[in-house]
Chains A and B, each alone.
Chain A
Amino acid sequence: MSETAPLPIVSARGLRKRFGKAEILHGLDFDIPPGRIYGLVGHNGAGKTTTLNALLGLTSYEGTVRVLGQDPYQKRASLMENVAFISDVASLPRFLRVRELFALVSNIHPKFDQARARSFLEGTDVKMDARIKNLSKGMIAQLHLAVVMAIDAKLLVLDEPTLGLDITYRKRFYRRLLEDYMTEERTLLITTHQVDEIEFMLSDIMFMREGELVLHMQMETVSTRYAQVLVDPANVAAARALGPIYAETRFGQTAMVFDGVDRDKLEPFGAVSTPTLSDLFVALMQRTPGAGERQ
């Protein structure tokens, strides 16, 4: 009996978005299978949030998008029964108390488990009688995360969920997400500028540049396809001959990033490692023909 690939949670074909005459997304094609943790990374203005907004039915678009088999722009309300998202940490209604928020969401969202949300807040400084407007930014982020984690959703989308939070809150945020929420049935799509902080949890990565996907692959493939070499000064010319996609000289050492070059060929030039996502991001965003060296 042959195994069939699971239906993708998200499918986009020819996804385009224009604001007036300016085209922001240039025909994206991608699938996101279930049970994966996707990182979507790009510069400001690369089109990440517009892409997420299209997937969440928050904006119109050209092309075909299906989320859980539904057109998100036409079916946003019903889709939200199985999709949870945080688009802005400060987006909780500020006039409510925490217990009022939980009561409200439990009456509106059929898949919200209030007891679960309360349990997520245990051990935090967020009290049930607190007014949201009086909570700190970090506490609001914890509260919002408790709300979305208490929703039994198939897809969770986080758009810069830890923006403006200190390192302690950010670490706690991702740890709870991974430990208390993720299961094989759930899919997580996350954008952040602090890409190094989420690298450990990602199964797949997408890089965007100026409305296009420049990278879309599994993290295992990243480590086999890309290599970073700290090239000994005597070997720079020889290493450059292998066509690095990026090279940078720092404190007298030259680091080069190679795409699809056998590691056996690279080892004679210096220490070979897998580039971190931030190194790879910089390499792919700034790649130029001939791998121009930056000082």
Chain B
Amino acid sequence: MKAMVALIKREYLEHRGAFLYAPLGLLAIFTLAVASALVLNKVRLPFEVGVPSALKLYELGLAFSAALWFVYLMVALFFYYADAFSADRRNNSMFFWKSMPVSDFKVLSSKMLAGMTIFPALIFLAVLATGVVLYLHTMLALAVMPRLAVPGVFEVIATSFRLGLFILVYMGLAVLWYAPYFAWVGALSTVFRRWSIPLAFLIPALVGLLEKLFLPDNGPGAGYFLSFVRQRADFSLDHSDLELAFFSEAPANIGLLLQSLLARIDWPQMAAGLIFAALAVYAASEYRRRVIST
């Protein structure tokens, strides 16, 4: 366990640029951009559709920024796995890691786990930090938009806590849901290094093409395989639930959103995906054990 924690920390040290420094930079740019827009009175809100309360504005802002951070996390994780599984070969440190009393499976598992724990946690912290920045922006907005109602600190904290809880659960489940995709690109990276990125898309496309060529064409339009991949890539929330939560004056009903999220998840698919991910990591570790080219 101690070694696994150390290996995960190693991943953090190696890849903190994408999950710590870059988000901090983006947050700084966002803070300055919105603050300058408010100060320079360049913000145009669609007041004709109703004046939102400052609290609702804050809630919407936090939810919207969380969605953006989530997209950032998914993209960053995809590139992380495409890089991390072959990073030891690239920077010539493979022999060093092989001289440590840890198996290749443990090393690759630590990379897999780092992408599912510490990096989403950092992005979640970025979401919370964005919440603080948004609150400061909301306070600043009062100066230029006096029609906004003043949000209380405790209301903001309560909203952040409720929404933060939902974002945390959503991020955690999403990372588990997409684990097979990440493990897929990671396993490809072990063999093909940077070519894993195009191959991660090309190989499924070829399988779909072969299915079209050789199987009777009585399935879905894109074929059974690609339809499955597309359906498996969907982890969205129900749109009507989202509208109900965020496009009304009342605070978002997080309980209802969580209920909706948990009800929409295909749990057997989730379990199958995690098994696929474990198998992909195992196969990659066996390749790494056998091939030591640096």
Contacts and interface: CB of A to CB of B under 8 A. Distances in A.
Given A58-B292, A107-B5, A85 B93 contact: no
A244 to B, nearest CB: 41
Interface in A91-113: 91-96, 100, 103-105, 107-110
Contacts of A96: 10, 13
Interface string B74-116: 0000000000000000011111111111110010000000000
A84 B96 CA distance: 10
A94 B93 contact: yes
B292 A104 contact: no
Given A91-B94, A92-B93, A104 B10 contact: yes
Contact of B101 (A60, A100, A109): A109
Nearest to B91: A94
Contacts of A81: 101
A104 B6 contact: yes
Contacts, number: 78
Interface string A59-101: 1100000000000000011111100111110111111100010
A96 B15 CA distance: 11
B3 A108 contact: yes
Contacts of A104: 6, 9-10
Given A92-B93, A108-B7, A100 B99 contact: no
B2 interface: yes
Contacts of B102: 77, 80, 108
B14 interface: yes
Given A93-B14, A95-B14, A107-B2, A80 B101 contact: yes
A56 interface: yes
A91 B14 CA distance: 15
B100 A80 contact: yes
A53 interface: yes
Nearest to A92: B96
B2 A80 contact: no
Contact of B3 (A86, A90, A107): A107
Interface size class of B (residues with CB under 8 A): 20 to 34
A145 to B, nearest CB: 13
Interface residues of A, number: 32
A29 to B, nearest CB: 24
A88 B96 CA distance: 8
B239 interface: no
Interface string B183-205: 00000000000000000000000
B91 A108 contact: no
B93 A91 contact: yes
A100 B16 CA distance: 14
A141 B254 CA distance: 57
A134 B7 CA distance: 23
Nearest to B96: A91
Given A108-B6, A108-B7, A76 B103 contact: yes
B9 A59 contact: no
Contacts of A78: 101
B100 A105 contact: yes
A90 B92 contact: yes
Interface in B11-59: 13-14
B292 A91 contact: no
B290 interface: yes
Contacts of A148: 99
A40 to B, nearest CB: 17
A109 B93 CA distance: 16
A110 B101 contact: yes
Nearest to B14: A95
A94 B6 CA distance: 17
7 contacts: A76-B98, A80-B100, A88-B92, A91-B294, A93-B91, A107-B6, A108-B6
Given A90-B92, A96-B13, A103-B6, 8 more contacts: A58-B292, A59-B292, A77-B103, A94-B91, A94-B93, A95-B13, A107-B3, A108-B102
